[in-house]
Structure 1
Amino acid sequence: MKKLLGVIFLALGAAWAQAQVRVVAAADLQYALTELAQRFEAQNPGIRVQLSFGSSGKFYTQLTQGLEADLYFSAEAIYPRLLEERGLAEPGTRALYAVGRIVLWLDRRLGLDPGPQALKDPKVTQLAIANPVHAPYGRAAVTLLEHYGLLKRRPDAPIPNFARLRWEEIPWERLDRGVEAYWDASPLKAGKASFSLVYGENISQTAQLALAATRAGVLALPLAVHESLSRPGVYWVAPLESHLRLEQNYVVLRGKARPEVMAFYRFVGSREGREVLRRYGFLLPGE
């Protein structure tokens, strides 16, 4: 009898383990994906969605090194595509779930109207952006500042022909000397006693830096609409054409297409899932 009970408990333990969906996701999904997981769990008792948020690029590196996860949500298309090419993603599961929007966020106490020209004001002495080496929102931030003439390409940048590269051609992972080794920030520094770019490891940490220290940041709209940022700050939504486009993809990782994983995968793309993403400021496919 004891042996039989042991076998039953082992079987139940295996079932419970399979009923967990492990998700690694770009930090701009912090609020939207949390709500999606809560809704999904309420409709699917017995399935738990475990969420981890961070930098898309860092998660990609960790996944190639054996990080255990079932679903990967990236803030741009390149990393899920590379996982496909390396045979680390389930064929046919990579899909566009949203297009990311970015904002220029300012602390209300600065008394400035948000917009690119506000960054030239002497009150703005620091600007938080995500690290463009591994964070897609950091790349979008740099291209936004370049678009409005606030950063200018350095002809002597330590990358051949850098000044002539299109945004999509920039080898972002190689920009490990800091933005100012590749772009001239003098338009942001003019008339100020000091000015510096401050880097967050991901867009969520960047938002925390803007809120607690820099009082200005280029952030993700899905974070800026949350009351933690919308109450103490004001923001301006950047036109899509003014920065590197953030085609946000997700994919099921190789060997992880279990029923509960595929159920959450489909839920994100369902009418209910799309409505949640839209409410948090994401632009949906086909819109």
Structure 2
Amino acid sequence: MTRLVLILATILVLGITAVHAEAGEITIAAASDLNFAFKELVAEYEKTTGDHVKLSLGSSGNFYAQIQNGAPFDLYFSADIGYPRKLEEAGLTVPGSLYRYAVGRIVIWTGNESKISVGKGFDSLREPTIKKIAIANPKHAPYGRAAVAALEYAKVYEQVKDKLVMGENISQAAQFIESGACDIGVIALSLAMAPAMKTKGTYWEIPAEAHPPLEQGAVILKSSKQQESAKQFLDFIKGPQGQEIMTRYGFTLPN
């Protein structure tokens, strides 16, 4: 009887191991504007496929540099399609995998405790009570570059440039405002629309013509050992579940 129990236990362990071996695992580097959208999307993908996703969020420019230096990612989702295009030109991507997955938007956002009315649009940034304005660092964050372009378009940049506080990425810029470290700022619409932030502040959507389009691109990396699983995730993004989630977080989807 004891021997039979041991045999059955061994079979069970081997069966569990086999299931885990069959399930794929992919590592994704994603721009931080995807923070809330991708956490929901990854959860749905894992539930649907049984595969596991390791998600790293940060600035697109920093990830680009890391990938050039051999960082072991399977998929790269950039807030600026220019970065994956450069990787493609350098021969570091799976041919034909480049995908323009969304166009992002930016907003002026402030917390509920603030007396600043973002309904005034760009004029809200001119309020004399404002001491600090958060944006992402334009050196390596596409949303930071879009913010600077919008401020220049509205002819407020020179007035506010000394008040700008640079977040390492757009999520950190949002955290600066949410925590009260900054009075107001320019963040991604996808963050402002997330349930975690929607009830904590108000936003004004910056007109699309105020800055170059935030065309966002994804690519499968040639160094990936999980290219099939990476393709499956990319297909999930293109499918109805993925598209519904991206739309709900304010992204404009490709035609």
Compute the TM-score of the two structures, normalised by the length of structure 2: 0.88
How far off is 1:14 after superposition?
A: 11
Question: Partner amino acid for 1:283?
Answer: T
Out of 196, 221, 244, the residue aligned to residue 228 of structure 1 is 196
Question: Partner amino acid for 1:246?
Answer: L
2:227 matches 1:258:
yes
How far off is 1:105 after superposition?
A: 0.5
Aligned-residue CA RMSD (Å): 2.0
Q: Mark the runs of 5 or more structure 2 residues left unpaired by the alignment.
A: 1-9
State the partner residue of 2:135: 129
Paired with 1:71 and 1:252, the residues of 2 have a C-alpha distance of: 5
Distance 1:13 1:88, change over 3 A: farther
Secondary structure of the residue aligned to 2:84 is: helix
Contact 2:220 2:227 in 1 (8 A): no
Paired with 1:240 and 1:271, the residues of 2 have a C-alpha distance of: 26
1:246-285 mapped onto 2 (5 Å cutoff):
246-256=214-224, 258-285=227-254
How far off is 1:200 after superposition?
A: 0.3
How far off is 1:109 after superposition?
A: 2.6
Paired with 1:276 and 1:140, the residues of 2 have a C-alpha distance of: 23
Higher normalized helix content (fraction of residues): 2
Contact 1:140 1:243 in 2 (8 A): yes
Out of 91, 101, 106, the residue aligned to residue 95 of structure 2 is 91
Contact 1:139 1:244 in 2 (8 A): no
1:142-181 mapped onto 2 (5 Å cutoff):
142-151=148-157
Compute the TM-score of the two structures, normalised by the length of structure 1: 0.78
Question: Partner amino acid for 1:198?
Answer: V
Out of 73, 76, 84, the residue aligned to residue 72 of structure 1 is 76
How far off is 1:18 after superposition?
A: 7.0
How far off is 1:211 after superposition?
A: 1.2
Distance 1:83 1:15, change over 3 A: farther
Paired with 1:58 and 1:17, the residues of 2 have a C-alpha distance of: 32
Distance 1:17 1:57, change over 3 A: farther
State the partner residue of 1:156: none
Identity over aligned pairs, percent: 42
Contact 2:72 2:223 in 1 (8 A): no
Paired with 1:35 and 1:255, the residues of 2 have a C-alpha distance of: 27
How far off is 1:65 after superposition?
A: 0.4
Contact 1:40 1:267 in 2 (8 A): yes
How far off is 1:13 after superposition?
A: 7.8
Question: Partner amino acid for 1:201?
Answer: E
How far off is 1:108 after superposition?
A: 2.7
Distance 1:52 1:13, change over 3 A: farther
- List per-residue Cα deviations over 1:191-245 (Å, max 9, x = no partner): xxxx521000001111101111102110000101123332221100111111121
Matched residues, number = 238
Contact 2:74 2:220 in 1 (8 A): yes
Question: Partner amino acid for 1:56?
Answer: S
Paired with 2:89 and 2:217, the residues of 1 have a C-alpha distance of: 15
State the partner residue of 2:169: 202
- List per-residue Cα deviations over 1:241-262 (Å, max 9, x = no partner): 1112110000000043632221
2:25 matches 1:28:
no
How far off is 1:67 after superposition?
A: 0.4
Secondary structure of the residue aligned to 2:143 is: helix
- List per-residue Cα deviations over 1:77-108 (Å, max 9, x = no partner): 11000100111111101011000010000223
Question: Partner amino acid for 1:248?
Answer: Q
Question: Partner amino acid for 1:137?
Answer: Y
Secondary structure of the residue aligned to 2:187 is: strand
State the partner residue of 2:57: 53
How far off is 1:125 after superposition?
A: 1.3
State the partner residue of 1:238: 206
